[in-house]
Amino acid sequence: MGIFDFLTGEFIDVIHWVDDTRDTMVWRFEREGHEIKYGAKLTVREGQSAVFVHEGQLADVFTPGLYMLETNNMPVLTTLNHWDHGFKSPFKSEIYFVNTTRFNDLKWGTKNPIICRDPEFGPVRLRAYGTYSIRVTDPARFLTEIVGTDGEFTMDEISFQIRNVIVQEFSRVIAGSGIPVLDMAANTADLGKLVAAEISGTIAAYGLSMPELYIENISLPPAVEEAMDKRTSIGIVGDLGKYTQFSAAEAMTAAAQNPSGGGMAAGMGAGMGIAMAQQMAGPWGARPATTPAPQAAAAPPPPPPVEHVWHTAENGLTKGPFSKAALGRMATSGELTRETYVWTAGQDGWKRAEDVAELAQLFTILPPPPPGA
């Protein structure tokens, strides 16, 4: 063995790539002049592929394993160079390592609401977001269609395009699914699989596949969610009549504890106490011993109606509570007008005084003509 043969065997070229970034999809093996020594060792680890590009043309693709770069291991490159016999000199080629593992926990979401036709609510606007995973299944196609000559290609460079594809297919699938909004939460797994299947055909042209797609949430606009919460609250309340009475009682209690209510609040509290006492006494209340028991107990009179107390709103400030009599005096003096907003317990929001039947008469009753007119 000559000295040159000995040196040739000792200094063997080793080509490999160890990725520690977790977001690099393609990395180009850098070598001065792109010269690869004949007989070099190529190590391709699990989750990788190595693609040879010779003079701008895609040559051989190597799957995981250990290779000795010779003519029998590089059939395409040998054909491109018209090597009919063995060669000893270095050859110039670019080697790209492609990461074929899954890239997980990638985010997607709808930038703008999706308009759908719901069978129960009619046209609705939906937002959605979730996660997905992606992997390279065809390194040669991925290198040709997406990477090009980029020496270090990361997931961030293609994630925006993938998100656009997901949102497009999700919008089409969700609009044509016919699933009611209230049932979508129970079908997110099936919707995710359906969307991933629709996307696969598009991203396959990039040399990619989507093993998983998850829909974490599908939400409605805040105004619609507020209306649904109110509808749920009504369902929980049940008997609206009893709920109105309960609300009125709470309003009375709050008015009695309000120092600004003065004697009127105390009077209302006393009136409620009397009414409750009469209801509790009933027809079997105690009576003097000298009074003979009647043949038939008369039905007790109904409890006196609870007078409403009103609050007024003016210039962003709330005043009250006021009795109806107090509001009548205020209407006479001009403090209360038809345009004044008023509210009482059980009323759905603030209303103008002239729109409340109980208060509208305060502005329509006129005094009789004076004597001698």
> Residue 39: inside a domain, yes or no?
yes
Q: Are residues 365 and 253 in the same domain?
A: yes
Do 155 and 118 belong to one domain? yes
Q: Does residue 184 sit in the same domain as residue 79?
A: no
- Residue, of 175 and 109, whose pLDDT is higher: 109
Window from 28-32, 302-306, 333-337 with minimum mean pLDDT:
302-306
In a domain, 272, yes or no: no
Max avg pLDDT among 51-65, 222-236, 355-369: 51-65
Domain boundary among 72, 99, 126: 99
Q: Please say if the pLDDT value at position 371 is more than 80.
A: no
- pLDDT at residue 211 in the model: 92
Mean pLDDT for the chain?
A: 78
* pLDDT category of residue 236 using cuts at 50, 70 and 90: low
If asked whether residues 204 and 249 sit together in one domain, one would say: no
- Whether 277 is in a domain gets the answer no
Of residues 268 and 216, more confidence is placed in 216
Query: Predicted confidence band at 319 (pLDDT cuts at 50, 70, 90)?
Result: confident
The predicted structure's pLDDT at residue 222: 82
Report which of 60, 62, 68, 61 is spatially closest to residue 41, judged by C-alpha positions.
Answer: 68
Which 3 state secondary structure label does DSSP give 264? helix
pLDDT at 142 over 60: yes
Among residues 84, 99, 114, the one where a domain terminates is 99
Predicted local distance difference test score (pLDDT) of residue 81: 58
Phi and psi angles of residue 131, each rounded to the nearest 5 degrees, phi first: -130, 165
203: in domain: yes
| Nearest to 206, CA basis, from 157, 267, 255 | 157
Q: Concatenated DSSP letters for 183-229?
A: GSGGGHHHHHHHHHHHHHHHHGGGTEEEEEEEEEEEE--HHHHHHHH
pLDDT tops 70 at residue 279 = no
Instruction: Kindly state whether residues 129 and 186 are assigned to the same domain.
Output: yes
Look at 137 and 121; give whichever has higher pLDDT.
137
- How high is the pLDDT of residue 166? 92
CATH no. for residue 330? 3.30.1490
User: Which pLDDT value is given to residue 109?
Assistant: 92
pLDDT value of residue 181: 84
Alpha helices, DSSP H, located in the chain:
3-10, 75-80, 139-142, 156-177, 188-203, 222-237, 240-257, 262-281, 324-333, 357-360
Inside any domain, residue 293: no
246 lies in the same domain as 360: yes
Residues 320 and 352 grouped into a single domain: yes
Between residues 294 and 116, the one the model is more confident about: 116
Confidence of residue 366 (pLDDT cuts 50, 70, 90): low
| pLDDT in the model for residue 116 | 86
Sheet holding 152-154, edge to edge: 57-62, 48-54, 94-99, 24-29, 152-154
In a domain, 169, yes or no: yes
The sheet that has 317-322: what strands, in order across it?
Answer: 317-322, 310-314, 341-343, 351-352
**Which residues have C-beta within 8 Å of that of residue 93, sequence separation ≥ 6?**
34, 36, 52, 53, 54, 59, 77
Band of the pLDDT at 2, cuts 50, 70, 90? very low
SS3 content of the chain, % helix, strand, coil (to 5): 40, 25, 35
Q: Is residue 360 part of a domain?
A: yes
Residues 199, 109, single domain; the answer is yes
Domain end call among 73, 99, 125:
99
Tokens of 255: 């008015």
pLDDT of residue 290: 55
Q: What is the domain range of residue 325?
A: 239-259+307-373
Mean pLDDT, residues 142-152 taken together:
88
**What ranges in 91-218 are assigned the alpha helix state H?**
139-142, 156-177, 188-203
Residue 297: per-residue pLDDT: 64
Quick one: pLDDT at residue 210? 93
Mean pLDDT to the nearest integer, 38-59: 86
Is residue 196 located within the same domain as residue 252? Answer: no
**SS3 of 167, please?**
helix
Residue 333 CA: distances (Å) to CA of 327, 328, 329: 10, 9, 6
Give the chain's domain count: 3
Let me know whether 19 and 79 are in one domain: yes
User: Is 10 inside any structural domain?
Assistant: yes
- pTM score of the predicted model: 0.55
215 neighbors 191 (Cβ within 8 angstroms): yes
pLDDT at position 74, please?
A: 64
**Residue 163's CATH number:** 3.30.479.30
Answer with the residue of higher pLDDT: 343 or 242.
343
**Residue 134: is its pLDDT beyond 90?**
yes
Q: Average pLDDT of 304-333?
A: 82
- Taking each helix axis as running N to C, give the angle between helix 262-281 and helix 240-257, from 0 to 180 degrees, rounded to the nearest 10: 130
User: Is the model's pLDDT at 322 over the cut of 80?
Assistant: yes
**pLDDT-above-90 percentage for the chain:** 20
Residue 262 predicted with pLDDT over 60 = no
Q: Is 7 in the same domain as 56?
A: yes
In this structure, the answer to whether residues 219 and 117 fall within a common structural domain is yes
